[in-house]
Amino acid sequence: MSGENVVEIRDLHFSYENRKILDGINLTIPRGQAVAILGTSGCGKTTLMRLINGQLRPQRGQVLVDGEDVHALDHDGLFRLRRKMGMMFQVSGLFSDLSVYENIAFPMREHTDLNEDMIRDLVLMKLQAVGLRGAHGLMPGELSGGMERRVALARAVAIDPKLVIYDEPFAGLDPISLNVIANLIRRQNDALGTTSVVVTYDVSESLKVVDYVYFISDGRIAAEGPTAEILASDDPFVYQFIHAEPDGPVPFHYPAQPLRADLGFEPA
């Protein structure tokens, strides 16, 4: 990969039918940094990741990854670009008919010419890093939710991609596993010069491992800055999110007419 920024997003718009999800997003992901994209559930974080890796197409705007316009690429070009990317899906996305070992080996066989002995060593090393080397023979259906997510992380970094996207990497993990995974993301980023994008609503854990933070609200970037500045910010939106305050710029309730009107006590 070349250039200062691995990802550049310019005036990005996306809707599901009449529901606006992203309304002119602009952001950059610098090479070698760990960046968090934070926001409430349903704010468009996962949609943004799907636009970055080409699973979805925007109504307007541009997504550049390593200088290439993702949505201008043909099938072969997109496949080639994705070889540089690792993705930990929000729902793990493991192949249910393959063992843990085979799930980790799959991208190695698909994208490299490594022999089976080398693949075996690398698979066991990746599983060792997430504490699951002894589970290599299990099937996904035999894993707990937390174990499944740890396997998904191991697969995401299986071939040491230059860009790794982690979609809710801390969800469903016990405190010990959560701390291990957070440290693994940071170590992977620093040791291999990886660029990491952590998409989550878990503020406390993500701020321990990232260099820069974007907050999404109402389809736009509501705030951004280096982690230290975000932690010290007195911006009402940032403060509410970091301190989990119930009242503030971010409403708890989805837009609706008054409850009394829904219950028939007064006109709608």
Asked if residue 177 belongs to a domain, the reply is: no
Asked if residue 135 belongs to a domain, the reply is: yes
- What are the backbone dihedrals phi and psi of residue 229, each rounded to the nearest 5 degrees, phi first? -70, -40
Crossing angle of helices 116-129 and 145-156, in 10° steps, is: 130
Contact yes or no for 175/15 (Cβ under 8 A): no
Asked if residue 176 belongs to a domain, the reply is: no
Q: How many domains does the chain have?
A: 2
Question: Is residue 132 located within the same domain as residue 238?
Answer: no
Question: Is residue 76 located within the same domain as residue 198?
Answer: yes
Exposure string over 134-172, b if 16+ CB within 10 A, otherwise e: ebbeebbeebeebbbbbbbbbbbbbbebbbbbbbbbbbb
Question: Is residue 65 located within the same domain as residue 107?
Answer: no
Q: Strand 163-167 vs strand 195-200: parallel, antiparallel, or unpaired?
A: parallel
Question: Is residue 65 located within the same domain as residue 166?
Answer: yes
CA–CA dist 87, 89 (Å, integer): 6
CA–CA dist 9, 27 (Å, integer): 5
Residue 1's pLDDT is: 44
Question: Is residue 97 located within the same domain as residue 156?
Answer: yes
Q: CB neighbours (10 Å) of residue 43?
A: 22
Question: Is residue 156 located within the same domain as residue 166?
Answer: no
Question: Is residue 76 located within the same domain as residue 197?
Answer: yes
Q: What is the CATH number of the domain that holds 21?
A: 3.40.50.300
Question: Is residue 152 located within the same domain as residue 166?
Answer: no
Contact yes or no for 253/246 (Cβ under 8 A): no
Contact yes or no for 163/83 (Cβ under 8 A): no
Amino acid at 19: R
Asked if residue 236 belongs to a domain, the reply is: yes
Asked if residue 267 belongs to a domain, the reply is: yes
Question: Is residue 228 located within the same domain as residue 262?
Answer: yes
Residue 3's pLDDT is: 63
Closest by CA to 233, choosing from 218, 254, 220, 249, is 249
Asked if residue 233 belongs to a domain, the reply is: yes
Asked if residue 179 belongs to a domain, the reply is: no
CA–CA dist 253, 251 (Å, integer): 6
Q: Which residues pair with 35 in a beta bridge?
A: 197, 212
Q: Which domain holds residue 129?
A: 92-160
Extract the tokens encoding 246. 């119930």
Question: Is residue 96 located within the same domain as residue 80?
Answer: no
CA–CA dist 244, 193 (Å, integer): 33
pLDDT digits (tens, 9 = 90+) for 173-205: 888 888 888 888 888 888 888 899 998 877 888
Question: Is residue 21 located within the same domain as residue 53?
Answer: yes
- Listed as ranges, residues in the chain with pLDDT below 70 are 1-3, 268
Element (H, E) at 212: strand 212-217
Question: Is residue 77 located within the same domain as residue 209?
Answer: yes
CA–CA dist 127, 256 (Å, integer): 47
Asked if residue 130 belongs to a domain, the reply is: yes
